[in-house]
Structures are given as structure tokens and as C-alpha cells.
Amino acid sequence: MQYGIPFPSAPGGYLVPARWQSGWNAAVCGGDAIGCLVAIYLLNRAGRKPLIWIGCIFNVVGIGLQQASHEWKMFLVGRFINAIGFGMVYTFSPVWKSQAVLKSFLM
């Protein structure tokens, strides 16, 4: 009801337009891609642990914007920022995990 428009024939009486839903899904894909590219740049300069914190900050800000949003545009921005954080973590978490497994195997 918060993001929908009145639509009497819909089961709940409201309908979220398809262009908004498409925008929300596209924001996630775009944010993941940008987060991956940013993580590649920052990984060599900041390291893995600071990059986890940076990704977490992006996620907290994005989730906060989504929870506080009262219109679909702010929700879109929140999803985009949250996806940037996920994209950063997607990029380097397999490398970090494999390194941790290798260290425990060699010790």
C-alpha cells in the first residue's frame, strides 16, 4: 500500500507499477556491478578487512534508506546503495575465505 497506486481489481486494492519494480531490480544489478568494480580498486589500496567495513557501512546505509523511505525513489536509492555493499563483499570474500582455509590447512 505504501508504494502502490489504488487499483480496485488487484487483490489488495493496490498495485505497484511494473516500471518501479523493474527499476528496483535493475538498481540491484547495477549496484552489484559498481560495487565489484570499486572493490577491485580498493582491495589493493585498503586491504580486505577495511573493505569489509566499507561494504558493511554501505549495507547499513542502504538498509536504513529502504526502511525510512516513504516513496519509491528513496527506496530505489536505498536498494542501489545496499547492492554496492554486497557487490564489494562478493568480490573479495571468496579470496579471503580460500586464504583462511589455506592458512588453517598449512598450520
**pLDDT tens-digit map of 21-65:** 898 899 999 999 999 999 988 888 888 888 889 999 999 999 999
64 contacts 11 by C-beta, under 8 angstroms: no
Distance (Å, whole) CA 89 – CA 37: 11
| pLDDT for position 72 | 85
pLDDT band at 68 (very low <50, low <70, confident <90, very high): very high
Q: Cα dist. 42→34, 76, 91 in Å? A: 12, 25, 11
- pTM, 2 dp: 0.79
Task: Provide mean pLDDT across the span 3-12.
Answer: 74
| pLDDT for position 54 | 92
Give the start-to-end residue ranges of the domains of the chain: 18-106
pLDDT band at 99 (very low <50, low <70, confident <90, very high): low
